[in-house]
Chain A
Amino acid sequence: MSLADLWAQHWFRAFVTGSLVLVFALGNFYITLWLERKESAWIQNRLGPMRAGPQGLLQVLADLFKLLQKEDIVPRNVDRILFLIAPFIAHIPALLIFLVVPFGPNMVVADYDIGIIMIAAVTSYAVIATFIAGWGSNNKYSLLGAMRGAAQMISYEVTLVMSVIGVVMMAGSLKLSDIVLAQAERGVLGWYLFPQFIGFIVYLIASLAELNRAPFDLMEAESELVAGYHTEYSGFRFAIFLLVEYVHMIAWSAIAATLFLGGWVGPTPADIPVIGPKLFGWMTGPVWDNVWGFFWFLFKTYLLIFILIWIRWTFPRVRIDQLMDLGWKFLLPVSLFNIFLTGVMKYGWNVLAESGSPLRWIFWLWR
């Protein structure tokens, strides 16, 4: 059986692409964790890890090995099965999100028509995993953390989906690759970041809350709840929670890059005027397109990750009732208004586009 025949088989393709997603998630987890430590150090007048490898690049590896070596402690009065499986359930949503993310032109594992709904759906398992961890630990701090987490994630999931609706209205599709293509046609100024600026800001805030990162890291608020739902976890189970947290962060940044920043769309060296085609003309073709697409995708994703880390190390933590107020009383109405605005503007452009009236330039951004 040749490789092409094998590729035609569903199971083989699923296996290969699934493994690639896993590798992508783990590799970026490593880089993101290192970046978080370094960036927090830069913000705080420190150096961060310096000893293990150049610029402390091996520090994460050392830490992970340390966590793997540790004894797998299961406290006596826990709900044993739930306690043991919780980290793995937490893994599901974090990795499933990558299935629908287009890493480049034609680089998407499962291009569902319902991409965004699928993301919203799998995210709900994160709540269940949090609950299982918090409840199974039989610890009051864990339970409080789980309670907060459940409330927070449900509330912000609504906001998150609402903030994305504007993008869906612009692109006319829930499929992530279609959304990228729609942005590719519009050029840099047409990226949904600009017409959907409100949506982008709401998405950024809501995804911070959904990720449980500071300033919304209430469910693991260390000065209040020790470590929240993973207080009782140690060793490699704790490492898996850590992994999940960062993979989630990468996933949400990747989605934001796809929805608002044009995903893998970006200039290639061949696009440089005058000299570009001559010097870099050889850098074209489907393979190079994928390479450049992947590069721009990663670049945008890391830009957003950088912002998320920056925010984390700058702001104090909000309180649970303030978090709820912010979500329900401010962000949700704002995102609903954004949907309304998008509708009005799109309608305005549709009506005026052909008329040639100068008024139509008001609606141009929403074309």
Chain B
Amino acid sequence: MEQTRELLINMGPQHPSTHGVLRVLVKLDGETITWAEPDIGYLHRCFEKLSESKTYTQVIPYTDRTDYLSAITNEHAFCLAVEKLMGIEVPERAEYIRVMMAELQRICSHLLGLGAMALDLGAVTGFLYAWRDREKIYSLFERITGGRMLYNYLRIGGVRNDLPEGIIGTPKDGRDKADKTIWGFINYFESYVLPEWDDLLTNNRIFQWRTQGVAPLPSEVAIAYGASGPVLRASGVKWDLRKNVPYSIYDRFEFDIPVGKENGDCFDRWVVRVEEMRQSARIVKQALQWLAENPGDYIAPKLPRVLKPPKGEVYIRYEGSRGEVGVHLVSDGSANPYKVKWRSPCFTHLQLLPVLAPGHKLADMIAIIGSIDIVLGEVDR
């Protein structure tokens, strides 16, 4: 009998839903995926090698450009590594500013991740709503750091400048001040944006059809493949480096770790991200309270112009927006790092694609890519 033949298609490198320049080879039987393989490297920019010829301070702008949607967290991870290597004490106010910025960045990054996933599933409006709210975070960041997307704001030992006057605002600031004060944004975000996401997408029947039961990831598989961050938590593993291996001052904050069910599917990954935004907003609020109560201008210690850390190596685990960012720094005592190894969560998550995709429809493929939320800049580095 005549059998149907498999169809090999090439999603990307130029394809609307591959979040950058990713090429996925897919074999289809009708509409069902039988085999999928990501092909990466289109955005390779030699970040790790390039860092070896820069001084430690000069590397910071490059870390911005790995996961360009979550720049502050990358800077934070790198600075933590250098500080640990040199044993630098970071001023308390700088720590609070760093944490607040990192959590705002996490909200911003999740907004884009969720928005892009919604866009891939055909909900264009959700994407534009995400864009609208990111814009507000960006205008706040612009006032604080001078940059909108790539900040170069954190310094080894502290931050570049204190918060500008009036940006914190008061807890009473509402929606009209959403892009003027951080309090205004957080209030607007909690009272307006999050319910809107729930109404528009999370509780939308079609959206649930498209994501529930799609690409379930058992927790053992997730751990075996080195998944981390929201992807791991969506599979029911309560693992958050901010709680489990506290760094910076995260042990001072009160927040929960949202987890999905045992077999986390695309919907769980979605819900976990939405919940994480809520928790991040909680952390930001606590940081804002402290910052408002403890004014000061000591935000960075005095350090020599050229940093020469002692010989040695250090590894930092950092809970980035997309998962565990690892920085392995080797110093030979000179002004340039001997080796910078960047563990990128997206790279690790992308290898889940051949595991998750087979057996699902082509349309699920993009839901999967959206739900593991990859940034190709970080995958290729």
Question: CA–CA, A272 to B364, complex, Å?
Answer: 56
Contacts of A221 in B (CB 8 A): 122, 363
Partner of A144, one of B31, B128, B204: B31
Partner of A318, one of B120, B201, B206: B206
Q: Does B241 contact A (CB under 8 A)?
A: no
**Do A315 and B206 touch across chains, with their CB atoms under 8 A apart?**
yes
**Do A313 and B125 touch across chains, with their CB atoms under 8 A apart?**
yes
**Do B363 and A316 touch across chains, with their CB atoms under 8 A apart?**
no
Given A224-B362, A320-B31: A215 and B16 interface contact (C-beta under 8 Å): no
Contacts of A217 in B (CB 8 A): 122
Given A140-B9, A222-B16, A224-B366: A316 and B122 interface contact (C-beta under 8 Å): yes
Shortest A229–chain B CB gap in Å is 15
Partner of B129, one of A45, A218, A225, A321: A45
Contacts of B209 in A (CB 8 A): 318-319, 322
Question: CA–CA, A225 to B207, complex, Å?
Answer: 19
Most chain A CB atoms below 10 A, which of B9, B28, B128, B206? B206
Contacts of B31 in A (CB 8 A): 144, 148, 320-321
Given A315-B204, A316-B210: A223 and B16 interface contact (C-beta under 8 Å): yes
**Do B128 and A223 touch across chains, with their CB atoms under 8 A apart?**
no
**Do A141 and B9 touch across chains, with their CB atoms under 8 A apart?**
yes
Question: CA–CA, A256 to B206, complex, Å?
Answer: 24
**Do A321 and B361 touch across chains, with their CB atoms under 8 A apart?**
yes
**Do B119 and A223 touch across chains, with their CB atoms under 8 A apart?**
yes
Question: CA–CA, A217 to B31, complex, Å?
Answer: 16
Q: Does B121 contact A (CB under 8 A)?
A: yes
Chain A, residue nearest B14 (CB): A226
Question: CA–CA, A315 to B31, complex, Å?
Answer: 22
Q: Does A13 contact B (CB under 8 A)?
A: no
**Do B363 and A320 touch across chains, with their CB atoms under 8 A apart?**
yes
Q: Does A160 contact B (CB under 8 A)?
A: no
Q: Does A344 contact B (CB under 8 A)?
A: no
Question: CA–CA, A5 to B129, complex, Å?
Answer: 61
Q: Does B15 contact A (CB under 8 A)?
A: yes
Q: Does A214 contact B (CB under 8 A)?
A: yes
Chain B, 124-176, CB within 8 A of any chain A CB: 124-126, 128-129, 132
Shortest B252–chain A CB gap in Å is 37
Given A140-B9, A316-B122: A224 and B363 interface contact (C-beta under 8 Å): yes
Chain A, 245-283, CB within 8 A of any chain B CB: none
**Do B129 and A317 touch across chains, with their CB atoms under 8 A apart?**
no
**Do B210 and A318 touch across chains, with their CB atoms under 8 A apart?**
yes
Question: CA–CA, A74 to B215, complex, Å?
Answer: 39
How many chain B residues sit at the interface, stated as a range, is 20 to 34
Chain B, 217-259, CB within 8 A of any chain A CB: none
Q: Does B123 contact A (CB under 8 A)?
A: yes
Chain B, residue nearest A222 (CB): B16
Contacts of A141 in B (CB 8 A): 9
Shortest B199–chain A CB gap in Å is 11
Shortest A144–chain B CB gap in Å is 7
**Do B204 and A316 touch across chains, with their CB atoms under 8 A apart?**
yes
Question: CA–CA, A276 to B167, complex, Å?
Answer: 62
Contacts of B365 in A (CB 8 A): 224
Shortest A54–chain B CB gap in Å is 24
Q: Does A44 contact B (CB under 8 A)?
A: yes
Contacts of A321 in B (CB 8 A): 31, 361
Contacts of A314 in B (CB 8 A): 123, 125, 200
Partner of A226, one of B16, B120, B125, B364: B16
Q: Does B281 contact A (CB under 8 A)?
A: no
Contacts of B120 in A (CB 8 A): 223
Contacts of A313 in B (CB 8 A): 124-125
Q: Does B50 contact A (CB under 8 A)?
A: no
Q: Does A10 contact B (CB under 8 A)?
A: no
Question: CA–CA, A157 to B157, complex, Å?
Answer: 68
Q: Does A43 contact B (CB under 8 A)?
A: yes
Q: Does A46 contact B (CB under 8 A)?
A: yes
Q: Does B7 contact A (CB under 8 A)?
A: yes
Chain A, 173-220, CB within 8 A of any chain B CB: 214-215, 217-218
Shortest A206–chain B CB gap in Å is 16
**Do A316 and B201 touch across chains, with their CB atoms under 8 A apart?**
yes
Contacts of B9 in A (CB 8 A): 140-141, 144
Question: CA–CA, A305 to B129, complex, Å?
Answer: 24
Question: CA–CA, A148 to B31, complex, Å?
Answer: 9
**Do B366 and A223 touch across chains, with their CB atoms under 8 A apart?**
yes
Contacts of A316 in B (CB 8 A): 118, 121-123, 126, 201, 204, 206-207, 210
Chain B, residue nearest A227 (CB): B16
Contact with A along B347-375 (1 / 0, CB 8 A): 00000000000000111111000000000
Partner of B122, one of A40, A140, A317: A317
Q: Does B57 contact A (CB under 8 A)?
A: no
Contacts of A214 in B (CB 8 A): 122
**Do A144 and B362 touch across chains, with their CB atoms under 8 A apart?**
yes
Chain A, residue nearest B365 (CB): A224
**Do A223 and B210 touch across chains, with their CB atoms under 8 A apart?**
no
Chain A, residue nearest B132 (CB): A45
Q: Does B344 contact A (CB under 8 A)?
A: no
Question: CA–CA, A148 to B361, complex, Å?
Answer: 12
Contacts of A222 in B (CB 8 A): 16
Contact with B along A138-166 (1 / 0, CB 8 A): 00110010001000000000000000000
Contacts of A322 in B (CB 8 A): 209-210
Question: CA–CA, A322 to B205, complex, Å?
Answer: 12
**Do A45 and B128 touch across chains, with their CB atoms under 8 A apart?**
yes
The contact sample of 24 A-B pairs, CB cut-off 8 A, is A40-B124, A44-B125, A45-B128, A45-B132, A140-B9, A141-B9, A144-B31, A215-B122, A217-B122, A218-B363, A221-B122, A223-B121, A224-B17, A224-B365, A224-B366, A313-B125, A315-B204, A316-B121, A316-B123, A316-B126, A320-B31, A320-B361, A321-B361, A322-B209
The 4 closest A-B pairs by CB, nearest first: A317-B122, A223-B17, A316-B123, A316-B121
- Which residues of A come within 8 Å of B, CB atoms? 40, 43-46, 140-141, 144, 148, 214-215, 217-218, 221-226, 313-322
